[in-house]
A and B are shown apart, each in its own frame.
Chain A
Amino acid sequence: MTVLVDLPADPTVERRRAVQAAAASSLRRRKLASTAALGVCWVFLAVAVVPLVAVVAYVVAKGLPAWNADFFTNSTVPEGIPGGGVWNAIVGTMVITGIAIVVTVPLGLLVGLFLAESEGRVAAALRFTADVMTGIPSITVGIFGYIAIVRNYGYSGFAGAFAIGFIMLPVIVRAGESAFRGVPTSLNEAALALGARKATIARRVVVPTALPGVITGVLLAVARGLGETAPLLLTIGGNQYLQWNPTKQMAALPTTIYNSSSQPYADQVQLAWGAALLLVVVVLVLSIGSRLLAARLRKERR
């Protein structure tokens, strides 16, 4: 660029030139730093993925050998005696989680609908309450179950279901709300214009449209409820025998894993791995299944 002799230098050009010079002189250093830093990010990604994959790999490798006919049909046996299974714990987990689902899914979805239709302070406070509830330390939920149910009626499957339901409820509320909010306003307004009542709109428009999101949320909540251990340790009491009656003490898969894993007997630890594999498989099937189902429902609608 030629500079005219008698004119003062254009500050914009000067400035641009200075910036370009600085950028060029530091380019090599900056490129090196960039490569190094991005390399660290990749290493961290590997560091994060390795232990997580290792956990699952170990559970599969150690749990599969535990899966035999006894494992799925027998109940837990006293320490040191071979041949026990976890049928009692499977039944316990099914009954406890089943009760929790039957109560919390309708209740949680109604509250989700309420939050989706309401603005203002009351709704905001409730929304915040639900969010804080999802973060409550699970052991204190166990204490609550103990105080509210066990103290009056003794250890029981119901007490466990109460605690697990308390943990699942806010997850369903928030998932339901965000699914219901995703329903386009135009659908609502069209239904209103046709003269539909709010209850009808909810039943015929909002809920069906939001169904993929609702299903995902509910299954995620169930997956979470299945694995909760601490609340059950304080509420169900435990039972070595098969028990279908939730008013009695029950066994459950997570508490069986917890109690067996610290035993000195190899059989018990083996049982813990088997139960862990079962729990992981069920939880992953629920999580993956909910995604696939939701994706499919969405696609059909399009």
Chain B
Amino acid sequence: MTVVETPRPTPAPPDVRGRLRLPDRGYRGILAVAAALVAALAAWFLVSIIIQAKPAFSTLGFSWILQKTWDPTHGKYGLLPFILGTLEVTAIAVVLAVPIGLGTALALAYLVPARTRAALSTTVELLAAVPSVVYGLWGLVVLAPVFRDTVEPFLTSVLGWTGLFNGPDQGVGLLLAGVILFVMILPTMVAISRDVLAVVPNEQLEGAMALGATRWQVLRKVVVPGARTGLLGAFTLATGRALGETVAVALVIGNSPYIAHSIKSPAATIPSLIVNNFGEATGTELAVLFGAGLVLLVIGIAVNSVARWLVWSTAGPSAGATAR
């Protein structure tokens, strides 16, 4: 809000003016204190995690982050299986969510009739608010048996030659966790993608149509390129959400501290490691869990900063402000 300073027509005596301005100063002061409080809170958050994680780095160095063996009783704290698990699960979710999310957003923004569009868009946005633990419950109780008995045998018989599907069909594992994450991040991705697709100027669409382009050509050559940066932001934001998801993944991934050799294998992610081991951990192990949280935080903040910057530069700072 810009307030234009206008010269005061009849200057009041200095002491009166000072008294008049006092409430304004108080008001600005309260706002500034509130703002400083939030900044301090953010700093406290970062500093306290770094300080608590420090013992892990001072006693073990940095090499544990990339070691393979997790065996706290013998003092081995290799984080690699969990980093890989986090990346693999996220990759499955994103590979599914990018084409399907983009197709859905295009359909919602340009194909669906206006009346249905509002209802469908609202439904998708509402589903973004469903708590992740509910998706986890559904994945564990409903989807896991279906995966074990139907989906995994089918995929193994069709794609078994790739070697990605070795091992027994267990239901819980990387694949199921990835699929649950995909379902979870889809509403976020669709809602933001639709917003950034909708801001492509109408003149450009009409121009392309006047040149004889088909509807798909307009979407592919005008709309998607026009919204490119924002779409990238939406994808990155969804990726960030997938990386940090804890409970939904912890319920369906099987929680095995070994590097997965198949897409069906049970595995673990950094958040699931923390939540499963936090209760009993003490001493070095606790510091290592804080350290694992720090590693996750660094990845998460990096991904999110990039995403916010990309979305801002397309659709302005208010786009997706309340989206997760």
Enumerate chain A interface residues (CB-CB to B < 8 A).
23, 30-31, 33-35, 37-38, 40-45, 47-49, 51-52, 54-56, 58-59, 62, 107, 110-111, 113-117, 119, 126-144, 146-148, 166, 169-171, 173-175, 177-178, 181, 185, 188-189, 192, 197-199, 202, 216-217, 220-221, 223-224, 226-230, 233-234, 254, 257-258, 261-262, 269, 272-273, 276, 279-280, 283-284, 286-288, 291
CA distance A44 to B23 in the complex (A): 57
The reply to whether the CB of B174 lies closer than 8 angstroms to some CB of chain A is no
Partner of A34 from the list B35, B44, B215 (CB cut-off 8 Å) is B215
- Give every chain A residue within 8 A of B220 (Cβ-Cβ): 37
Would you call the interface of chain B mostly helix, strand, loop, or mixed?
helix
Partner of B131 from the list A23, A132, A136, A229 (CB cut-off 8 Å) is A229
Given the known interface contacts A134-B324, A199-B27, A276-B134, the answer about A107 and B38 at a Cβ–Cβ threshold of 8 Å is yes
CA distance A170 to B304 in the complex (A): 14
Expressed in whole angstroms, the minimum distance between the Cβ of B109 and any Cβ of chain A is: 10
Partner of A166 from the list B41, B102, B324 (CB cut-off 8 Å) is B41
**Interface pair B271/A262, CB less than 8 Å apart:** no
Given the known interface contacts A44-B104, A107-B37, the answer about A269 and B318 at a Cβ–Cβ threshold of 8 Å is no
**Interface pair A229/B133, CB less than 8 Å apart:** yes
**Interface pair B122/A273, CB less than 8 Å apart:** no
- Give every chain B residue within 8 A of A254 (Cβ-Cβ): 131, 133, 247
**Interface pair B243/A119, CB less than 8 Å apart:** no
Partner of B134 from the list A169, A217, A279 (CB cut-off 8 Å) is A279
CA distance A22 to B154 in the complex (A): 45
Given the known interface contacts A137-B246, A143-B274, A287-B126, the answer about A52 and B34 at a Cβ–Cβ threshold of 8 Å is no
Partner of B240 from the list A135, A185, A199, A202 (CB cut-off 8 Å) is A135
Expressed in whole angstroms, the minimum distance between the Cβ of B189 and any Cβ of chain A is: 9
Partner of B247 from the list A189, A198, A233 (CB cut-off 8 Å) is A233
Partner of A217 from the list B4, B303, B322 (CB cut-off 8 Å) is B322
**Interface pair B49/A280, CB less than 8 Å apart:** no
Given the known interface contacts A129-B42, A261-B140, A261-B141, the answer about A224 and B27 at a Cβ–Cβ threshold of 8 Å is no
**Interface pair B111/A44, CB less than 8 Å apart:** no
The reply to whether the CB of B257 lies closer than 8 angstroms to some CB of chain A is no
CA distance A254 to B246 in the complex (A): 12
CA distance A284 to B126 in the complex (A): 7
The reply to whether the CB of B66 lies closer than 8 angstroms to some CB of chain A is no
Enumerate chain B interface residues (CB-CB to A < 8 A).
1-4, 20, 23-24, 26-28, 30-32, 34-35, 37-39, 41-42, 44-45, 48-49, 52, 99-104, 106-108, 111-112, 120, 122-127, 129-138, 140-142, 183, 186-187, 190, 212, 214-217, 219-220, 237, 240-241, 243-247, 251, 271, 274-275, 278, 289-290, 293-294, 296-297, 300-301, 303-305, 307-308, 317-318, 321-322, 324
- Give every chain B residue within 8 A of A288 (Cβ-Cβ): 126
Residue of B nearest to A146 (CB): B278
Given the known interface contacts A55-B134, A254-B133, the answer about A135 and B304 at a Cβ–Cβ threshold of 8 Å is yes
- Give every chain A residue within 8 A of B48 (Cβ-Cβ): 144, 147-148
**Interface pair B137/A114, CB less than 8 Å apart:** no
Residue of A nearest to B271 (CB): A139
Q: Can you name 15 A-B residue pairings with CB atoms under 8 Å?
A: A33-B214, A34-B215, A40-B103, A54-B138, A110-B31, A114-B31, A126-B39, A129-B42, A135-B241, A140-B297, A143-B52, A147-B52, A257-B137, A276-B133, A280-B131
**Interface pair B100/A114, CB less than 8 Å apart:** no
CA distance A42 to B3 in the complex (A): 49
**Interface pair B308/A52, CB less than 8 Å apart:** no
CA distance A271 to B32 in the complex (A): 46
**Interface pair B237/A45, CB less than 8 Å apart:** no
